[in-house]
Amino acid sequence: MQQSSKSIKLESVIALILVGVFVYRCFLVGQVQKVDKDETSENWQNDFDENEDPNECLPPASPYDPRINYDELAWKAYYKAHKGEPFAEEAKKIIESLH
């Protein structure tokens, strides 16, 4: 009888802890996240300037040279890195047969 009473008390304590964690996560943490999202949105809107160039933070465009065969350049780089592998060797045979 004493063991079943301890077992029931332990189960009750565990259930109360789980309910407490659930309530904390649903109500308190959810409110904090909602406030953070709202503040972030407001800050973004305040920081936005209509005259600002949206591409300003992008790196400069790399020059394209139409004289370079980029497909062949990419293939050579791949083959150099994977030389000796079955797929690379098979692809090399196919490419050589096309030329």
pLDDT mean values, one per 10 residues, the chain (99 residues): 70 83 74 58 60 77 87 92 93 88
Residues 82/88, Cβ–Cβ less than 8 Å: yes
Q: Are 88 and 78 in contact (CB under 8 A)?
A: yes
Q: What is the pLDDT of residue 14?
A: 85
3-state secondary structure of 65: coil
Domain locations along the chain? 1-51, 67-99
Instruction: Note the pLDDT of residue 85.
Output: 93
pLDDT at 31: 61
